[in-house]
Structure 1
Amino acid sequence: MGRPNWVPAGTDLDKPNAARVYDYYLGGSHNFEADREMARRAIELWPDLPAIMRSNRAFLRRAVQHVAEAGISRFLDIGSGIPTFGAVHEMARGIRPEARVVYVDRDPVAVAHSRLLLADDLLSEVVEADLRSVEDLLARPEVAELLAAGEPVAVLLVAVLHFITDDDEPARLVSTLRDALPPGSALVLSHASMEGRPDQAGPHQDLYRRTPTPLTMRGRDRIVELFDGFDLVEPGVVYLPEWHPDNPEGIGPHPERMSGMAGVGFLR
């Protein structure tokens, strides 16, 4: 079988990649057997993993639609992975056809895939940068241009801050981003949490310590603190399925099984 046209030349298809593994969890088609094998091993250790990933993606969709309906048409998606299955630009343009999106990821494989996929999209940009070097990220021309117009921007930090293991660093990073935002901007955030399942926090973090991307699960109070300077949209920071659900009856009796919390806030 030939190499698909979205795969950059020189990509090692026998080596799993986290962004493509995530695409597999979501039911996407931008992954290979090495990615699927890694996902299957992870699911053996954590059977809820695909459901958690899908719940997180569903939150992203609802949050993007919410801020787009509020009038925002500029999006900065940090830690974006590969914008394939239910990408932000597709979600946003269902409401705001003029929506501009800057995708940011530190993984060069994800960035290369993304640039090929979005090569013909004149309203989307892809930047290779690391959130941990937030000043450098903000100085990138594509990001600076997005912010320079003075129009509100939605910053998306979806399932990314738990990979910042220094406990004080997430608040610093978010506050730096906040201070660079135009008035009326929004923060869309989800974060792995031990709330509701404290007995699982240790095993879940142990699982990720075996990968190149260890994570730190945090409690609700610490996640709420990340919204300092933003007015939280009701119902505040809640379990992933509980944030503006499409069908409240479908949340189920144990939303805490999704092991993540999420919220949206608008800049004061």
Structure 2
Amino acid sequence: MKNRQWQVRAPDEQAEQHYLVQPRALAGGGDIRHVSEFLRSSGWRDKSKKGGPLHMESPDRALRITYDPYVLPGGWTIHSRADSTNREWSAHLGRQTPVEIVAGLTDALTRPRSAHAPNVWAPLQEQNWHTRFEGQDYMATSPDGTAWMHYHHSPEGPAMWWTGATDKQGNGWTATFTRDTPMHLVQAFSAELASPDPVMRPRGRVPLSAQIRTWSVSVTPSQLRAWQQARITAAHTAAWARSNTQSHRPHTSARPYTPAGGARTRR
């Protein structure tokens, strides 16, 4: 975010104090609407009950996302049922997982899969994370040592992804992805985890940690609404484009089977 973005305000608006926080992995959970509003604008159904946990369902009902802060340990659960091409998988992310990092995964659920082979470690290595083998595990650690990503595999148990962040006071979060979680989704998550960009938190919502750096900024309500609306508009636009592409896709009927060498007349 550039400094000039914070200098534009509508007349008679009272600016509010916010903070840019770095590293983002230690910024705290944030506003869950960053995730839910994007999904809703992408065509997902909000199945939440009033006063209860968040519960979102994909248009084809194959994916469910919940956020439940009322139980221990609480947090995010993403579950996908098995289909003709994918096995069942799930991910569990702690309550203090920053919503911007959660959105790396959940936003990717609304987009078509890239034709390129995914590489979970590439975004981490691009940001100078230290990658190495430790026994049966392959792992990466952030340059400041506060965040990590592991691929754990052992004969005694199922393979899984394990990631998280913690400061010297023990504050932080962990997340796990089952073995069959599609790799492009784990990569989308790791890209947001490794991003050097700070995230914004309102006053009173910044964690007390000696490992974070903060910058005070003045933000007006109209600026916040504009940034939120830009994200929602992007989701609406992508959803419309997908729907338009599918509706204009040509329909072809199956041709009768013809043996090699052309059709033959039975005598």
TM-score, L = length of structure 2: 0.25
Q: Specify the structure having the higher radius of gyration (Cα).
A: 2
Q: When the two structures are superposed, what TM-score results if normalisation uses the length of structure 1? A: 0.25
Structure with larger RCO (C-alpha < 8 A, sep 6+): 2
Higher strand proportion (structure 1 or 2): 2
